[in-house]
Amino acid sequence: MRILADATAVGEGGGGICTFLLGLLAGWTAAGFEDEWRVVGMSDLPRAVDDLVMSPGRVLRGRSPSVVHRILAQQVLLPAMACGSWSPDVILATTPVIPVTPLRSPVVAMVHDLRSLRFPSEFTRLVRTYRRIAYRYGLARADGLLANSDFTRDEVQQVARHRRSNPVVISLGADHVDDWPAVSPGPEDGQGHGITFAHWSNKRPDVAIRAWALLHDTDDAFAAKLHVVGGRAAEIGGLIRLSSELHINHLVQVHPFLPEHEYRDLFASSSVVLLPSTMEGFGLPVAEAQRLGIPVVATAVGGISEVGGDAALYSTDGSPSSFAALCAQILFDPGRRDELIRRGRERSGHFTWRSTAERTRCELERIVVRRRARSVRRITPNLP
């Protein structure tokens, strides 16, 4: 097949969408598929994509990754390629935003979550308005939809009630962490360290910081550090002030986006991963942590519990006190910790990028065959 991938929403530090594209392409290679890819992205599309798209495939990058240029690349450059001499068999969109221009090739869109529709207050007015319009159009007009979890599939069905076909659930992989270096906590970590996230508005790092303060209040000897990763410039100061007000500024370190190797080292050496999110379509850090043998404490929302199963601990109310109590089980009960690590390693074996690639290719091929069959029926309507 000739596959045209819309990666205009993928950028360095792009979170789950970036990991999805890189993992999918790596899984494609591992499965031995020989399809020809062309990937359309922006100037911040990771250079690792070039290594994964083998010749005669190509990677094309638009101009600066501003919102305007992303829209132009998606709505002008991508349709021009789709209708040019190199006609793709199928277009794979990495988000449910698809071109409004009629295309000869079928479009299959991946849906990671519909958080902007469920929690619009977590986005600026411009972003939530654009996504409300673009997502609803994409969900209605795409020839096929992929969802990363049963939860996301159900969300799509509620939004796109008039669709005749259901989204196909294809889990993401987590075996990319097998290449991460095995790092043990250093002596400066004391009792180890926890890690939480701040790169998107749903991550709620303040809950993790408050939970850490409660652990410290319970035991003055508590010396484990908490690393908050991905803090945006406008919010880092507030998180530092919160740590100071709670008298744990010596235990909390707030980081901006880290270089990949630094992030991997910090994540892989964690004693616990905290994910107090308002919503996650899949919860990729859960699968990553479990594969690395790191226990997870998370809110029981979205697709998180689908991924973590009985190998993670869940807060039903998302409060700092419940997170503190669950973290205490991991940090102070070696037996409980070892049990969660064992369960997590067993469960994470199901999440591989080769499996993601195989199932994705099967669905793309099915959509292509269906489109061709419809074309034949239109040309020869009298055939049985």
For 93-152, the pLDDT digits (tens) are 999 999 998 888 999 999 999 999 889 998 899 888 988 999 999 999 999 999 999 999
Could you list the residue range(s) of the whole structural domain that residue 226 is in? 176-348
What is the tens place of the pLDDT at every residue in 68-100? Answer: 888 889 899 899 888 888 899 999 999 999 999
pLDDT at 376 over 90: no
Reading the block at residue 381, the tokens are 């309507």
Rounded to the nearest integer, the mean pLDDT of the chain is 90
pLDDT attached to residue 383: 52
Provide the domain count of the chain: 2
pLDDT at 187 over 70: no
Rounded to two decimals, what is the model's pTM? 0.91
pLDDT attached to residue 328: 95
Share of the chain above pLDDT 90, in %: 70
In a domain, 384, yes or no: no
The CA distance from 68 to 224, in Å, is: 44
Residues 252 and 142 in one domain: no
pLDDT band at 183; cut points 50, 70, 90:
low
pLDDT attached to residue 188: 44
Residues 42 and 162 in one domain: yes
Cα separations (Å) of 134 from 14, 72, 141, 376?
A: 19, 14, 10, 31
Residues 360 and 372 in one domain: yes
Place of tokens 């998302």: 318
pLDDT attached to residue 36: 95
Residues 24 and 68 in one domain: yes
**169 DSSP β-pair partners:** 147
Residues 181 and 326 in one domain: yes
Sheet strand arrangement including 252-254: 252-254, 225-229, 193-197, 272-275, 296-299, 313-315
pLDDT attached to residue 308: 96
CATH number at residue 210: 3.40.50.2000
pLDDT band at 244; cut points 50, 70, 90:
very high
Residues 370 and 268 in one domain: no
Cα separations (Å) of 362 from 31, 62, 155?
A: 12, 30, 23
The CA distance from 274 to 314, in Å, is: 10
Residues 190 and 339 in one domain: yes
Residues 322, 123, 110: CA angle, nearest 5 degrees: 90
What is the H or E stretch that residue 382 is in? none
The CA distance from 236 to 159, in Å, is: 35
Share of the chain above pLDDT 70, in %: 93
